[in-house]
Structure 1
Amino acid sequence: MSTSAPLPSATPVSPDEFAGRTALVTGAASGIGLATARRLGQGGARVVIADYNAEGAASAAAALTDEAIEASAVTVDVTDPASVEAAVRFAQDTYGALHLAVNNAGIGGESAPTGDYDIDVWNRVVRTNLDGVFYSMRYEIPALLAAGGGAIVNTASILGSVGFAGSPAYVAAKHGVVGLTKTAATEYAAQGVRINAVGPGFIDTPLLQGMEKEAYDGLVQLHPAGRLGRSEEVAEVIAFLLSDRASFVHGSYHLVDGAYTAR
């Protein structure tokens, strides 16, 4: 299922924009992560596809390689610090250094009111969506410093700025990602590491294809733009934040939401 609104014309990509740089993207086997990895690779970056789904990561890396993008795959569990450390080391060992990182891995979790929310689900969502971003930055930042500087973008959500009934764990974790991003940005700005966040609205990914039309249309109506977003549109904002064009952008939180939060 998709909206009828036309996709805006793609902005021409310079193949030298990220030349000589290595990018690690978590949750990159599909969706926003894969679109971001592709966009960075089109700009000349060497891309490490990191995902819990080993088969999906390998398939994504192969697809990008077929598109003449230099890409490798690594399995990562962002809830495990040792696994994250190993993924960062893989990027360094494979390409010599790490310059860019996109911490995109995340899960949704079941829907229930706060007073009824399952504690195990809460812990799983927070471990993945918040702890996973902390663990990622914990090992990426030293790697970027060793490379002489770089940039990180964390994928938060529109729910990093507003509430959403039935999603207490997700909302709390995404608010935490925004705060963590701002804190780390202040700590490393003077050392040549820029850290920012994006807040996507509801994005038209394969996960929504099974929704009933009434539910899908309800999501669309929440966005004054009259449609859901595309992964490529989020990827374009991430690419800007990682690029030298955003050289004075530190600790920002960019909403990509079709005016969802502007209502």
Structure 2
Amino acid sequence: MNQLAGKVAIVTGGASGIGREVALQFANEGSKVVIVDINEEKGKEIEKLIKDDRGSALFIRADITNPYAVNELYSKVEETYGKVDILFNNAGIFLEGRLTHELSFTEWKKLMSVNLDAVFLMARKALRYMLKNGEGVIVNTASAVSDVGYAQQAAYTASKHAVAGFTKTLALEYSNHNIRVNAISPGETETPLIDWYSKEELEAVLADYPIGRMAKPVEMAKAVVFLVSPDASYITGTNLFVDGGFTAK
């Protein structure tokens, strides 16, 4: 407990799924938590949960694919907390599976704007605060498919490969400034992103997982807490696969 006492952490996509659980775990570890999402109702719910447990939280509704909205977001964080120590770059979307020739450019661009452009915009701004602080930690959400191909998910797979490469590059650029950058690559997790699966499709997907089940969001959150904690002080540029053996297979 209290591994993150005094730290200010931003969690994008913090209103549900993995982001929600990470926000709660960060608060349990003593961090002041900024929850960023477009879902105001659920975002405020998480803010209230943390405050009711005597933690410190701020919900900000923002479209983080918009650079102006990102700048405004960080201004609110600075006004409230004065600094940024941790960024969990987690917001992402998923498209219904289809072959690449059936994928529209509009769909491709929409997914890339959330899964990749927003990661760049949020990290770029956070790095400026971290350079001023003389330290910081960023964790980006990649995916179990950030290291393999995945049929009928060209846009999603490409975006997550890009996030993995972006993570390694940031680690190289900023390690000498005491800023660590890592990625987490979840396997199938019980979040709203899997809601579009039919029962049969989900069974087929889980057949690819040696561990034989989906992950709980808390299992991902514990890995993220580790990566941002002092226990991971010598870890940077790593893509941590928390995928039930999917990529091993």
TM-score by length of 2: 0.96
Structure 1 contact 22–98 (Cα < 8 Å) conserved: yes
- Give me the identity figure in percent: 37
Q: Distance in 1 between matches of 2:36 and 2:206?
A: 30
Say which of 21, 45, 51 aligns to 2:37.
51
- The equivalent of 1:100 in structure 2 is 86
Please list every run of 5 or more consecutive structure 2 residues that lacks an aligned counterpart in the other structure. none
Q: Distance in 2 between matches of 1:262 and 1:152?
A: 26
1:227 matched to 2:213? The reply is: yes
Deviation at 1:78, TM superposition (A): 1.6
Structure 1 contact 39–235 (Cα < 8 Å) conserved: yes
Residue identity opposite 2:199 in structure 1: K
- The equivalent of 2:241 in structure 1 is 255
Structure 1 contact 110–121 (Cα < 8 Å) conserved: no
Say which of 145, 156, 160 aligns to 1:174.
160
Q: Distance in 2 between matches of 1:26 and 1:176?
A: 18
Q: Distance in 1 between matches of 2:18 and 2:187?
A: 12
TM-score by length of 1: 0.91
- The equivalent of 1:70 in structure 2 is 56
1:38 matched to 2:24? The reply is: yes
Q: Distance in 2 between matches of 1:142 and 1:62?
A: 29
Q: Distance in 2 between matches of 1:163 and 1:110?
A: 16
Residue identity opposite 1:200 in structure 2: P
What are the Cα deviations for residues 173-209 of structure 1, in whole angstroms up to 9, with x where unaligned?
Answer: 1100000010011000000110000000010124546
- The equivalent of 1:144 in structure 2 is 130
Instruction: Report the 3-state secondary structure (helix = DSSP H, G, I; strand = E; otherwise coil) of the residue aligned with 2:45.
Output: helix
Change (3 A) 1:112 1:212: closer
Structure 1 contact 199–255 (Cα < 8 Å) conserved: yes
- The equivalent of 2:182 in structure 1 is 196
Structure 2 contact 96–196 (Cα < 8 Å) conserved: no
Residue identity opposite 1:258 in structure 2: G
Deviation at 1:210, TM superposition (A): 6.9
The equivalences for 1:207-246 within 5 A come to 207-208=193-194, 211-246=197-232
Structure 2 contact 8–86 (Cα < 8 Å) conserved: yes
Question: What RMSD, in angstroms, separates the aligned Cα atoms of the two structures?
Answer: 1.3
Structure 1 contact 32–231 (Cα < 8 Å) conserved: yes
Structure 1 contact 36–232 (Cα < 8 Å) conserved: yes
Change (3 A) 1:132 1:210: closer
What are the Cα deviations for residues 68-99 of structure 1, in whole angstroms up to 9, with x where unaligned?
Answer: 22111001212101111222222221112110
Structure 1 contact 24–88 (Cα < 8 Å) conserved: no
Q: Distance in 2 between matches of 1:156 and 1:229?
A: 15
1:110 matched to 2:96? The reply is: yes
What are the Cα deviations for residues 23-71 of structure 1, in whole angstroms up to 9, with x where unaligned?
Answer: 0000000100010011111000000000122222112211222222211
Deviation at 1:145, TM superposition (A): 1.5
Q: Say which is worse superposed, 193-202 or 209-218, in terms of deviation.
A: 209-218
Structure 1 contact 189–250 (Cα < 8 Å) conserved: yes
Structure 1 contact 144–193 (Cα < 8 Å) conserved: yes
Aligned length: 249
- The equivalent of 2:72 in structure 1 is 86
